[in-house]
A and B are shown apart, each in its own frame.
Chain A
Amino acid sequence: MIPANFAYHRPSTIEEAVGLLASLGEEARALAGGFSLIPMMKLRLAAPEALVDLSRIAALKGVREEGPEIVVGAMTTQHQLMSDPIIAAKVPLIPETSAVIADPQIRYRGTLGGNVANGDPGNDMPAVMMTLDATYVLAGPNGTRSVKARGFYEGAYFTAAEPGEILTEIRIPTPAPGAGYAYEKLKRKVGDYATAAAAVQLTMKASTVETIAIGLTNVSETPLLAQDAMTILAGSRLEPEVVDRAVAAAEAITNPASDGRGPAEYRTAMAGIMLRRALARAASRAQG
Chain B
Amino acid sequence: MNDMTPTREEREAKLQGMGCKRKRVEDVRFTQGRGQYVDDLKLPGMLFGDFVRSTYAHARIKKIDASAALALPGVKAVLTAADLKPLNLHYMPTLAGDVQAVLADEKVLFQGQEVAFVIAEDRYVAADAAELVEVEYEELPPLVDPFQAMAEDAPLLREDIKDKTEGAHGPRKHYNHIFDWQIGDKTGTDAAFQGADVTIKEMLSYHRTHPSPLETCQCVASMDKIRGELTLWGTFQAPHVIRTVASMLAGIPEHKVHVIAPDIGGGFGNKVGAYPGYICSVVASIVLGVPVKWVEDRMENLSTTSFARDYHMTTELAATKDGKITAMRVHVLADHGAFDACADPSKWPAGFMNICTGSYDIPVAHLAVDGVYTNKAPGGVAYRCSFRVTEAVYAIERAIEILAQKLGMDSAELRMKNFIKAEQFPYQSALGWEYDSGDYHTAMRKALDTVGYDALRAEQTAKRDAFRRGETREIMGIGISFFTEIVGAGPTRNCDILGIGMFDSAEIRIHPTGGVIARMGTKSQGQGHETTYAQIIATELGIPADDIMIEEGNTDTAPYGLGTYGSRSTPVAGAATAVAARKIKAKAQMIAAHMLEVHHDDVEFDIDGFRVKGLPEKRKSMKEIVWAAYNQPPPNMEPGLEAVSYYDPPNMTYPFGAYLCVMDIDVDTGVYKVRRFYALDDCGTRINPMIIEGQVHGGLTEAFAVAMGQEIRYDEQGNVMGASFMDFFLPTAVETPVWETDHTVTPSPHHPIGAKGVGESPHVGGVPCFSNAVNDAFAFLGSTHIQMPHDHWRIWKAARALGA
Interface residues of A (CB under 8 A from B): 1-2, 4-5, 44, 103, 186, 188-193, 195, 259-263, 266, 269-270, 273
Which residue on B lies nearest to A5, using beta carbons? B128
A186 CA / B668 CA spacing, docked (Å): 12
Pick 19 A–B contacts, CB within 8 A, sort by A.
Answer: A2-B124, A2-B127, A4-B131, A5-B124, A5-B128, A103-B732, A186-B669, A186-B792, A188-B791, A192-B726, A195-B793, A259-B721, A259-B722, A261-B793, A262-B791, A262-B793, A263-B793, A273-B668, A273-B669
Which residues in A have their C-beta under 8 angstroms from that of B124? 2, 5
State which of A5, A44, A188, A273 has its C-beta within 8 Å of the C-beta of B729.
Answer: A188
B734 at the interface (CB under 8 A from A): yes
Chain A: minimal CB distance from B596 (Å)? 63
B671 at the interface (CB under 8 A from A): yes
Which residues in A have their C-beta under 8 angstroms from that of B766? none
| Structural contact, B721 and A2, CB atoms closer than 8 A | no
Chain A: minimal CB distance from B212 (Å)? 13
Which residue on A lies nearest to B671, using beta carbons? A186
Which residues in B have their C-beta under 8 angstroms from that of A4? 128, 131
Which residues in B have their C-beta under 8 angstroms from that of A190? 732, 734-735
| Structural contact, B131 and A266, CB atoms closer than 8 A | no
Chain B: minimal CB distance from A175 (Å)? 28
A195 and B668 in contact, given A1-B299, A4-B128, A5-B128 (Cβ under 8 angstroms) = no
B698 at the interface (CB under 8 A from A): no
Which residue on B lies nearest to A262, using beta carbons? B793
Chain A facing B: main interface SS = loop
Among residues 703 to 734 in chain B, which have CB atoms less than 8 Å away from a CB atom of chain A? 709, 713, 721-722, 726-727, 729-732, 734
Which residue on B lies nearest to A276, using beta carbons? B668
Which residues in A have their C-beta under 8 angstroms from that of B128? 4-5
Which residues in B have their C-beta under 8 angstroms from that of A191? 726, 732
Which residue on A lies nearest to B726, using beta carbons? A192
A145 CA / B162 CA spacing, docked (Å): 67
Residue of B131, B730, B796 ringed by the most chain A CB atoms within 10 A: B796
Lowest 7 CB-CB distances: which A-B pairs, in order? A262-B793, A2-B127, A260-B727, A1-B297, A266-B793, A260-B722, A190-B734
Residue of A1, A2, A191 ringed by the most chain B CB atoms within 10 A: A2
B797 at the interface (CB under 8 A from A): yes
Among residues 753 to 804 in chain B, which have CB atoms less than 8 Å away from a CB atom of chain A? 791-793, 796-797
Chain B: minimal CB distance from A120 (Å)? 13
| Structural contact, A189 and B732, CB atoms closer than 8 A | yes
A260 and B713 in contact, given A103-B732, A190-B734 (Cβ under 8 angstroms) = yes
Chain B: minimal CB distance from A146 (Å)? 34
A70 CA / B727 CA spacing, docked (Å): 36
Chain B: minimal CB distance from A237 (Å)? 23
| Structural contact, A1 and B298, CB atoms closer than 8 A | yes
A103 CA / B298 CA spacing, docked (Å): 20
Which residues in A have their C-beta under 8 angstroms from that of B734? 189-190
Which residues in A have their C-beta under 8 angstroms from that of B791? 188, 262
| Structural contact, B796 and A189, CB atoms closer than 8 A | no
| Structural contact, B297 and A266, CB atoms closer than 8 A | no
A261 CA / B670 CA spacing, docked (Å): 12
| Structural contact, B669 and A189, CB atoms closer than 8 A | no
State which of A2, A192, A266 has its C-beta within 8 Å of the C-beta of B123.
Answer: A2
Which residues in B have their C-beta under 8 angstroms from that of A266? 670, 792-793, 796-797
Which residues in B have their C-beta under 8 angstroms from that of A195? 792-793
| Structural contact, B298 and A188, CB atoms closer than 8 A | no
Residue of B299, B729, B731, B792 ringed by the most chain A CB atoms within 10 A: B792
Which residue on A lies nearest to B730, using beta carbons? A189
Which residue on B lies nearest to A47, using beta carbons? B131
Chain A: minimal CB distance from B667 (Å)? 11
Chain B: minimal CB distance from A277 (Å)? 9
Which residue on B lies nearest to A191, using beta carbons? B732
| Structural contact, A260 and B669, CB atoms closer than 8 A | no
When each residue 148-184 of chain B gets 1 if its CB lies under 8 Å from chain A and 0 otherwise, what string results? 0000000000000000000000000000000000000
A198 CA / B727 CA spacing, docked (Å): 21
Which residues in B have their C-beta under 8 angstroms from that of A103? 732
State which of B123, B127, B297, B792 has its C-beta within 8 Å of the C-beta of A188.
Answer: B792
A262 CA / B791 CA spacing, docked (Å): 9
Which residue on B lies nearest to A269, using beta carbons? B796
State which of A1, A193, A260 has its C-beta within 8 Å of the C-beta of B721.
Answer: A260
Which residues in A have their C-beta under 8 angstroms from that of B722? 259-260
Known: A5-B128, A260-B721; 11 extra A-B contacts, CB below 8 A, are A2-B123, A186-B792, A189-B729, A189-B731, A191-B726, A191-B732, A195-B793, A260-B713, A260-B727, A261-B793, A263-B793
Chain B: minimal CB distance from A117 (Å)? 21
A270 CA / B299 CA spacing, docked (Å): 29
